[in-house]
Structure 1
Amino acid sequence: MSASPVPHDSPSLDEIVERLGTFATSHGRPELTTRLDETRTLVNDTAVQVVVVGQFKQGKSALVNALIDAPVCPVDDVVATAVPTSVSWGEQPSALLVTEFEEEQASIRTPIDPRQLRRHVTELAGETGFAGSLHAEVRLPRSFLADGLVLVDTPGVGRAQAQISTNLTLLPQADAAIMLSDATQEFTQPEMSFLRQAVALCPRITCVVSKIDLQHQWRTILDADREHLAAAEIEVPLLATSALLHDLAGREHDEELAREAQVAALGTHLHDVVRADVLAERRRAAATDITGVGEHLMMVLQAELRALGAASGAAEVVRELEDARDVADQLTRRSARWQQTLSDGAAELVSDIEFDLRDRLRAVGREAEQLIEDCDPGEVWDDVGLWLAESVTQAVSDNFVWAHQRSEHLAEVVARHFSLDGRAALPDLTLDGAEQALRAIGGLEFVRSGRLSLGQKVMVGMKGSYGGILMFGLMTSLAGMALVNPLSVAAGLMMGGFAYRQDANQRLEQRRNEAKMAVRRLIDESIFQVGKESRDRMGRIKRVLRDHFSEIAEDLKRSLAESVRAAKDGAALPTDERSRRALVLSRELREIRELCRQAGAGAAPALTQELTSA
């Protein structure tokens, strides 16, 4: 059943916020005015951030360039993107390097030449992020970006401990994400693992098979990827594109080639589906905020009206409101049920997170030790270190994602225990700390290769053969033979070879023990560093939840206190003024109620009209 159309004279959400703000100001409620200012900012925010993520060298930068028809993000066959780069609308081309210091809550913004972006955001710039979190902001006058779409090119996540933590931090803050995988092969296990994390962190994921120009059988790959998504029970759109064909079509003005590249189809999906969904959700959130503010205002008006209408029972009305105020006052105390739920839940969550982290990392350690037992670590130590770093990063990332989901569940439980009427807004919980924790983990210790020079091999053999020559030489000397004779030399060679093999086995066992100890120390260091960051992050989340619900409780207490005051003032009015005051309050109450109704009924239809007119 379709929604009924909204009359043309219905006010917009921005107008509703303005009119409610007038009521909040006239009734002396500055905290509600502040909330409405935040709602107005939400209503007017048309920026939709889309993060482009994927494994190393999947064509993320090329896709961003193709979507906006500008070579803004550096593309190279060898050098990779190392710094997240956001591209948004601007009347003139410009670029900034932004270094953010989370602890100081400050940032440094350095203008750079957009044509020199390659020097600042690729691996050519060297290691980044020592002083703080670094990202680039580029603004361009491109029609694709004019209506608020913001594309964020990110570093690849296929390198050990490199950038997966950065992308995990960006995903919860983004409105949508594009997950790239090129057409040369099906989804790999690391890609599916990262996709599961992305789906858990970002509400809108679109999978894109890139570089279809490199694979004639890309449709087969696309079908196989669909099967992987179905097997993993991940329901996301799956599209195929070629940035190279799109660029060639633009140069040749070939519309058929442009359709084959399918970049325009992806752009249409981002505009018509993703952007529309994001803006609709914002308007629904704004309507909820407007309704909440309206309820606080109506609470006071209704209390005064009740007192005005109760000629002999005004004292009873005041007493009921005072009882409700006392109940609201209890919400701000430490003994409140939601406070206890938050405290107990946070402590339990910290314990569960630490256990989960230890369990994941110890499993990685056991697998690494088995790997070491099956090989010579001196010969493949670099490969073992790379695998171990990737496995530790994956385990830590999974732990952080799981902790984030558990934190959101805790917020919902606290909200249920807090809410008096079955409704309480939830705060936004950011996922941070993963990058700092991974950077704090030291590298894997060096293990000797175990290779011996020719001279060392000869010396080991001579040490073993010396005893054999001497022993068998003495035995054969009893038969009248010389100390050094063919029999003693042969025995010496046999014992020398045996001694060399025994020494090699001992050195191999020693290298394995050293490698296992190095793995254990790395796992212990990871547990220590990540565990510390997890506890700190849980402390921040606990403070966010406490402050959020405390603020709601204070607003409720303030509204009830105003209701008590208004009821007392109404009861004290002379009889001849009560009717006039009741008419004024009834008119205001009807108008506020109508504004709340219009906000709830007009959010989605208003968005539909806006997109249709655009």
Structure 2
Amino acid sequence: MAGIWLDVLDEIARTCREHGRGDLLQTVREKRAQLLDPTLRVLVLGEPNQGKSQLVNAIVNAPVCPVGDGRTTVLPTVVRHAAVATATVVQGPPSIPGRPGGGTATVERTELPLDQIAAGVAGTLRRAGGGPAYVEIGLPRALLGAGLVLVDTPGADEVAALGGAAPAAALNRADAVLLVSDSTRELSVAELNVLLHLARSHSNVLVVQTKTDLAPDWRAVAERNRKHLAEAGVPAALVCVSAALRLRAAAADDRGLNAESGFPVLIARLQRDLAGKADVLARASVSLVARTVVEQLAAPLRAELASQQAERETGPMSRLHAAQREADELRRCSTRWQNTLADEMADLLSDIEYDLRDRTREILRMVDDAFDTADPLVAWETFEEWLRQSLVEAAEANHEWLVQRCDFAARRVAGNFARYGYDVLPPWSMSVPEDLGGRLPGMERPSIDRFTAAQKVFTGMKGSYGGLLMFGLAMTLAGMPMINPVSIGAGALFGGKSIRDESRQLLRRRQATVKSAIQRHVDDVFVRMTKECRDVTRQVQRMLRDHFTALTEELQEAIVASLRTAKQAADTDAAARDQRQREIRLKMTRLAALYEQAQQLTGARPAPATLEPRA
């Protein structure tokens, strides 16, 4: 009958060995030996003063476990079958850090008189310096002879305390667990937590509600306890008993009182578990072992899949994506810096030309203001020096601004490369030429008409003739001769006016001539300086273009090399990761199949979300 579940258990052991889990393999081997043992080991747990020891006494109908006020169970008590009543204190060797506990060869057994069982259970006979100990009691009982072994444990109200009750009565070696709670109250939170802990590791858990003889409303308490168990999701049945009634019925051989005690139901359950250990109980235990083993084996595999997914975001693949983003960013940067350079140079030419035009216009306005009153014949030497100096200053200021704007344009273009983290400005040596004044075209002195003495005499004679004639004729009408003092004075007056008018006209012509000549000269200077500025700007533009083109190519080579390296690393890593993921998924699939096979022993189906391998 053990063939089916035993094959599954052996497959679980092989799986533990394949996964390198020696601890789980040892647990499975111990479970295999336990399930092949025909005895049914029943562990009795509960909080203090709940009637555990009296329950054991009532089951075997013998006062093997001390009860009563002031009597405390310190050492676990193992009650098994024996031909004659015996009592033994079994004590193992002291535990040594880094070395497992002693084997059977070093276990010390001390026989006890039957009247000292209470002292043995209380731990007063335990030798100092020894290891874990327990009391073993043998009784000639048919129920025990059938294979039932009862283990009474010290009172414990914490989940952590249950695992340390006793090495000989450890939870993982129990075939069935009885949690004892009296009928005077409902199950406590601590007891429900203990039951939840037990249900995860044991397939056969039973809640025994004792002392029904002391609680008139024990049926209502039992109903509420069943409700608590259902709400908590604990798959444990509840049996209500009275040890006092059981012992009294045994002493009086009263079957009715025995049935009222509830023990026939409990003993029938234990006998059914004992008879079904090799089949039903073993199947449920193997199914639970499979769940535990599969969960522990699958957890690191899922964690590895999750870590591989995280490494995918930060490993070679992420570096490949980063290199691709860098290549794309460099292409965008190349477009940006070329557009920036073209825009800056166009703006520079426009601004420099406007600046030079504004400076020359200011000079021309000053020339117009000056020669509206000044005579070129008198002020030309001084004015020529001022004009030359003003044009040189304008050219130098314009050229200095050209240098500043070129430097600004270079920095604007270099700003597109700021993310690459180093200085990308070209070697800059542009400055204002020291011989800029010598590059300006010279100005020849314009041809200026002078008002000579002969021109003045001739002009005066023409003007005086008209006055003399006009006044002389007028005087002849009055009977006076044409030439008289009045006509002579009028002629002299008209001659002087003619000289003055002609002198002013000549001055205005000289001023207009000089202004026109200066304007032509300033235009020549503007055209030449504009040509030089355009030439300088084009040279700077070509120099910046060549510099940043070489820089772009250098960065491109570095990024392409990084991209190639990242691609190779990503391909290698992806291949290794895919291979490992296939191995993990295969192991997860096998674990899922093993779990499903184990669950089929009890007719249960696995939960897909829990057992199927995750991507």
TM-score band by shorter chain is 0.3 to 0.5
Per chain length, whose mean CA-contact separation is higher, i.e. which structure has more relative contact order (CA < 8 Å, sep 6+)?
1
- Give the structure with higher Rg (CA): 2
TM-score when normalising by structure 2: 0.39
